[in-house]
Amino acid sequence: MSNLFSGISLSQASQSSTNLSIASKLPPLPASPSLSQTIGMMGSPEEALNAYPLPRPLPVWLNPAYARHIVKGNFMTLSARPKTVDKGEWVAHQVVEHYRNLWNFVRVVFEKEEDGKTICNATSCPRMSAGMNHSYTWLNNRFEPIELPAFEYITLMQRWISGKIDDTKIFPTEASGVSFSYNSQITTTALLTGPDEWVGKRSGFPKDFFSICQTIFLQMFRVYAHLYWAHFTEPFYHLNLEKQLNSCFSHFVLTATALDLLKPQELEPMQPLIDLWAANGTFPPESKAYEYANLKAGTRLLQLGGMA
Amino acid sequence: MSEVEFAPPPTPDLESYGPNVAYNRERCYQLAQGFFKDAVRRARERHERQKELKLRLENPELLSRREQIWSHSGKLEAKYLRFLRTKEELSNYTVVKTIGKGYFGEVKLVRKRQDGRVYALKRLFKSEMISKEQLPRVRAERDALAESDSEWVVKLFTTFQDNASLYMLMEFLPGGDLMSMLIKYQIFSEDITRFYTAEIIMAIEAIHNLGYIHRDIKPDNILLDRGGHIKLADFGLSTGFRRDHEKSYYQTLLQRPAPPSGRPQNNRHSVNIDEISLTVSNRAQINEWRRSRRLVAYSSVGTPDYIAPELFSTNGYSFEIDWWSLGTIIYECLVGWPPFAAETFHDTYRKIINWPHTLLFPDDIQLSYNAVHLIRSMINAPDARLGRNGAAEIKNHPFFAGVDFTGLRRIRAPFEPPLTSDVDTSAFPVDDLPQEEGFGDGGGSGPGREGVAVGAEDPEMSLPFLGYTFKRFEKSYTA
Ligand SMILES: Nc1ncnc2c1ncn2[C@@H]1O[C@H](COP(=O)(O)OP(=O)(O)OP(=O)(O)O)[C@@H](O)[C@H]1O
Ligand SMILES: [Mg+2]
């Protein structure tokens, strides 16, 4: 491992605990520069990639040949908020869509076979992990971090998320409650700023709505990371679903970054793939995901894959 | 320094997985594929709306209304997003009346609890439709209806499902169907026939342009809107099934000896004898036929009266089958019954197969030369049938001289339904239909949504009916 990492204790930095019921009360994470930003400033493409704590040989999903998509064109149009739409409404929509997409893949590793076994189980994945350096713990009732098999972690997390999404006090569904976005050129009502204003307020979303959505996105990101690190080949590659997974995940990253639902440092376990997608044009230069990427590392992956 | 390399891609290996994986894989594949297809379509439509909005905001004449235009757009989009987020289910609606019935399901007039709006809700029972080879077509046909934005096609707002049924939420067309009109008036003048026929041509042309063959053009699938103009319905799910159902039904009939009351099949004259049995002098028989036609529409097989002969053969068929059906409808409008009407389906079927000998015009009904010529050109062999080269050649037939096809919807229709309320069902045979409370058996009580319960299969997630759910952006959606 490169000494560029000195000063960052990886096991601590990424051992995040979750108790989702209090997650929204947790203090905000310090705004440290992302790993890729730190690395991107110096060195050659080779050094940039070597800076990541990646196993050798590199995981299959970092091979550009397997990082392809089922969609052509600019993914950003899918998550760009129409100007007149209230931000809260748009965020709510994105949360639900991405949740449905992610669950589509989780279902494949979670559904029981005839012998009662699931692909992701306590033996295959005894911890909720994303590679060697990231594992996530759950907080029990006494707020102690506990390690859970990925299957249990994800199940708990799914219950928590669907509990939020199905709660009409948090995700209102009444057609009559809708509002619209402000435009200083057109709308006369002044845009309030300050403690009394929050994302989605005018459309009936609660004060903690946005932070709930950030937590949901963070949790969904962890599940994607687990799927890539633990299940990319088994089963997705074997089932010829890797392009589908890539497409849903890249759409997820573009949305999450564009809407500030994920912070750059939270992308860490999947940073090399994000770099690759920035380098190969999946993430357009005007996207935040591109901004957060380390192009050198991405270029290096393309070189290794014989594509640059 | 040793070269960094990728882990070698393993050989794809399905064998090592259990039997359920293939199913799960297919479902995952289709859902992901469907998501992007849908998302791209929605983005494209959204983009169009935003472009239109921009034009309106820049229009100096609308300057004073800019704020209203802006907020209206934002709210409309937001309502659509909420609509997308929420689960449609039966309990969101209350039943006003049952207005129609067919083999696979029924059609009810419903009111949406949330906004009080009125719709027609068609319900199809899954159990009746499980027939594996047909499922790709189920999807294709649902797509056709969902993708069409034609004024000639009944508008589909959304589709949803529960364990037992698929539902299609459509605009309610209060004028009833053409079958009711024919039952009521028995015969139309050539002018009125010309109007309806011209509209049906436009409608068939619109769906052909979508690449879709209706296959089931008949009077009870031609609906009338509040202005008395026609729209096509019922080319969603059931047609394909039913057509094949009929095909095998008739093929079995073919192989069987004729029923005892019939004549021996090897008698070459039998067909000729049958054909004369239905003439105007035989009024009693016609009235009986007319009374029974609604019941026939409810029965399992449906009437074969309007089906082109090539649908019964194994040689395949194409777009021109819909023009044959229209030919038989024109005949019926002018004569009072369809050309191959007979006492039994079996006889009708034999008449259709022998159409060159059985297509007869009664002596005591006066038809113009052009009308007869048009009918004979449409009830014709597929390779000689008018319409095989597109709708234009039908429109150019002298029967339609002077008709402005593109302006049809702007002129007043011959019959405008006299409506007293938004739930006026006087154009429907509601008294002939069972009117049970609510949605009746199997409805409403289905499990609601509990997120995506792990383990338990969400009905939306069962492979045969995957991707059935659809939601249309609705411009006139009220607050
Ligand atoms: N949108 C609608 N508005 C008003 N009435 C409708 C509407 N859709 C259907 N109906 C009525 O219900 C009847 C049956 O509907 P439809 O033809 O769609 O289904 P079906 O006949 O059951 O299907 P199939 O013929 O394939 O079995 C129609 O003939 C018409 O009278
Ligand atoms: Mg019908």
Lowest mean pLDDT among A47-61, A230-244, B2-16, B107-121: B2-16
- Pocket probe for ligand 1: among B111, B123, B152, B177, the residue whose CB has the most ligand atoms within 8 Å is B177
Query: Both B377 and B263 in a single domain?
Result: yes
Place of tokens 């402000």: A182
The pLDDT of residue B301:
58
Burial class (CB in 10 A: 0-12, 13-18, 19+), B91: middle
Tell me the DSSP string of B19-76.
THHHHHHHHHHHHHHHHHHHHHHHHHHHHHHHHHHHHHHH-GGGGGGHHHHHHHHHHH
Tokens of B78: 């937001």
Q: Which of A161, A220, A164, A96 is nearest to B82 (CA)?
A: A96
**CB contact residues (below 8 A), chain B span 423-452, against chain A:** 449-452
Annotated binding-site members of B: 122
**CB contact residues (below 8 A), chain B span 9-48, against chain A:** 9-10, 12-14, 16-21, 24-25, 27-29, 31-33, 35-36, 39-40, 43, 46-47
**Cα dihedral B290, B294, B297, B298 sign:** negative
Q: Whole-angstrom Cα distance, residue B236 to residue B156?
A: 10
Tell me the DSSP string of A228-261.
HHHHIIIIIITTT-HHHHHHHHHHHHHHHHHTTS
- Rounded mean pLDDT, A229-236: 94
Query: Both B434 and B368 in a single domain?
Result: no
Q: Whole-angstrom Cα distance, residue B301 to residue B116?
A: 36
Lowest mean pLDDT among A103-112, A176-185, A219-228, A234-243: A176-185
The pLDDT of residue A190:
56
Size of interface A-B (CB pairs under 8 A): 201
Q: Whole-angstrom Cα distance, residue B204 to residue B199?
A: 9
The pLDDT of residue B250:
45
Give the distance (Å) from ligand 2 centre to CA of residue B220: 6
Q: Please name the member of B12, B20, B115 whose beta carbon is closest to the beta carbon of A111.
A: B20
Q: Please name the member of B39, B50, B79 whose beta carbon is closest to the beta carbon of A175.
A: B79
Tokens of A113: 């076979």
- Interface contact flag, A84 B39, Cβ < 8 Å: no
Residue of A nearest to B53 (CA): A84
Place of tokens 């380390």: A294
Q: Whole-angstrom Cα distance, residue A156 to residue A146?
A: 13
The pLDDT of residue B374:
98
Query: Both B206 and B94 in a single domain?
Result: no
Q: What is the CATH number of the domain that holds B144?
A: 3.30.200.20
The pLDDT of residue B342:
86
pLDDT at A73 over 50: yes
- Interface contact flag, A84 B70, Cβ < 8 Å: yes
For residue B323, give the 3-state DSSP assignment: helix
Any domain includes B10: no
The pLDDT of residue B459:
62
Any domain includes B2: no
The dihedral formed by the CA atoms of A221, A222, A223 and A226, expressed in degrees to the nearest 10: 120
Answer yes or no: are the C-beta atoms of B170 and B121 closer than 8 Å.
yes
* Phi, psi torsion values for B229, nearest 5 degrees: -90, 155
Lowest mean pLDDT among A105-109, A185-189, A274-278: A185-189
Query: Both B360 and B236 in a single domain?
Result: yes
> Edge-to-edge, what's the strand order for the sheet holding B165-170?
B93-101, B105-112, B118-125, B165-170, B156-161, B470-471
Answer yes or no: are the C-beta atoms of B310 and B319 closer than 8 Å.
no
Which amino acid residue places its CA nearest to atom 1 of ligand 1?
B172
Average pLDDT across chain A, whole number: 85
- Pocket probe for ligand 1: among B103, B104, B107, B307, the residue whose CB has the most ligand atoms within 8 Å is B107
- Provide Rg for chain B, Cα atoms: 25
Chain A contact set for B115 (CB, 8 A):
175
Lowest mean pLDDT among A38-47, A51-60, B87-96, B121-130: A38-47
Boundary of a domain, candidates B29, B62, B85: B85
Residue A124: C-alpha distances to residues A151, A234, A281 (Å):
10, 10, 34
Query: Both B397 and B261 in a single domain?
Result: yes
**Cα dihedral B391, B396, B399, B403 sign:** positive
pLDDT at A219 over 90: yes
Q: Please name the member of B29, B53, B81 whose beta carbon is closest to the beta carbon of A244.
A: B29
Give the distance (Å) from ligand 1 centre to CA of residue B107: 6
Q: Which of B452, B457, B458, B478 to mutate to test the interface with A (most CBs of A within 10 A)?
A: B452
Any domain includes B294: yes
For residue B112, give the 3-state DSSP assignment: strand
Which amino acid residue places its CA nearest to atom 26 of ligand 1?
B238
Query: Both B361 and B382 in a single domain?
Result: yes
Q: Whole-angstrom Cα distance, residue A241 to residue B36?
A: 14
| Alpha helices per DSSP H over B189-234 | 190-209
Give the distance (Å) from ligand 1 centre to CA of residue B35: 29
Any domain includes B233: yes
Q: Which of A62, A85, A90 to mutate to test the interface with B (most CBs of B within 10 A)?
A: A85
Q: Whole-angstrom Cα distance, residue B176 to residue B157?
A: 19
The pLDDT of residue B280:
42
Query: Both B352 and B436 in a single domain?
Result: no
The pLDDT of residue A189:
64
Boundary of a domain, candidates B367, B383, B410: B410
The length of chain B, given as a count of residues: 479
Query: Both B67 and B126 in a single domain?
Result: no
Query: Both B327 and B430 in a single domain?
Result: no
**CB contact residues (below 8 A), chain B span 56-75, against chain A:** 57, 66-67, 70-71, 73-75
Query: Both B192 and B58 in a single domain?
Result: no
Boundary of a domain, candidates B46, B70, B85: B85
- Give the other-Cβ count within 10 Å of B300's Cβ: 12
Task: Report residues of chain B scoring pLDDT below 70.
Answer: 1-4, 103-104, 128-144, 235-288, 290-291, 296-302, 440-470, 474-479
- Rounded mean pLDDT, A179-205: 79
Say what the ipTM of the complex is: 0.87
Q: Whole-angstrom Cα distance, residue B110 to residue B116?
A: 9
Annotation marks residue B115 as catalytic? no
Answer yes or no: are the C-beta atoms of A145 and A171 closer than 8 Å.
no
Any domain includes B1: no
Answer yes or no: are the C-beta atoms of A272 and A50 closer than 8 Å.
no
- Pocket probe for ligand 1: among B101, B104, B122, the residue whose CB has the most ligand atoms within 8 Å is B122
Q: Which residues fall within 8 angstroms of residue A64, CB to CB, at 6 or more apart?
A: A276, A280, A301, A302, A305, A307
- Interface contact flag, A85 B477, Cβ < 8 Å: no
Place of tokens 């080319």: B235
**Cα dihedral A145, A146, A151, A155 sign:** negative
Q: Whole-angstrom Cα distance, residue B423 to residue B406?
A: 31
Answer yes or no: are the C-beta atoms of B341 and B278 closer than 8 Å.
yes
Any domain includes B298: yes
For residue B231, the ligand closest to its alpha carbon is 1
Q: Which residues fall within 8 angstroms of residue B49, CB to CB, at 6 or more apart?
A: A82, B73, B77, B473
Distance from the B467 Cα atom to the nearest Cα atom in chain A, whole angstroms: 13
Residue of B nearest to A244 (CA): B32
The number of the ligand 1 atom at minimal distance from the alpha carbon of B237 is 26
Q: Please name the member of B32, B39, B81 whose beta carbon is closest to the beta carbon of A104.
A: B32
* Phi, psi torsion values for B176, nearest 5 degrees: 75, -165
pLDDT in tens, B366-416: 899 999 999 999 999 999 999 999 999 999 999 999 999 999 999 999 999
- Interface contact flag, A180 B454, Cβ < 8 Å: no
Tokens of B46: 């959204």
Q: What is the CATH number of the domain that holds B269?
A: 1.10.510.10
Query: Both B40 and B119 in a single domain?
Result: no
Any domain includes B6: no
Answer yes or no: are the C-beta atoms of B102 and B183 closer than 8 Å.
no
Any domain includes B415: no
Tally of domains in chain B: 3
- Rounded mean pLDDT, A192-220: 89
What's this model's pTM, rounded to 2 decimal places?
Answer: 0.75
- Provide Rg for chain A, Cα atoms: 20
Place of tokens 């409650």: A177
Burial class (CB in 10 A: 0-12, 13-18, 19+), B337: buried
DSSP β-bridge partners for residue B223: B177, B231
Burial class (CB in 10 A: 0-12, 13-18, 19+), A126: middle
High-pLDDT (> 90) share of chain A, %: 66
Identity of residue B362: P
Q: Which of A28, A35, A25, A34 is nearest to A2 (CA)?
A: A35
The DSSP secondary-structure symbol of B232 reads: E
- Interface contact flag, A63 B6, Cβ < 8 Å: yes
How many whole angstroms from its chain centre is CA B130? Answer: 19
DSSP β-bridge partners for residue A258: none
A94 or A187: whose pLDDT is higher?
A94
The pLDDT of residue A16:
55
Query: Pocket residues for ligand 1 (CB within 6 Å)?
Result: B 99-100, 102-105, 107, 120, 122, 154, 170-173, 177, 220-221, 223, 233-234, 238-239, 242
Tokens of A268: 């860490």
Q: Whole-angstrom Cα distance, residue B338 to residue B89?
A: 40
Query: Both B131 and B78 in a single domain?
Result: no
For residue A114, give the 3-state DSSP assignment: coil
Segment (H or E) for B152 = none
Q: Domain of B393?
A: 178-410
The pLDDT of residue B275:
32
- Interface contact flag, A100 B35, Cβ < 8 Å: yes
- Interface contact flag, B115 A175, Cβ < 8 Å: yes
Answer yes or no: are the C-beta atoms of B366 and B374 closer than 8 Å.
no
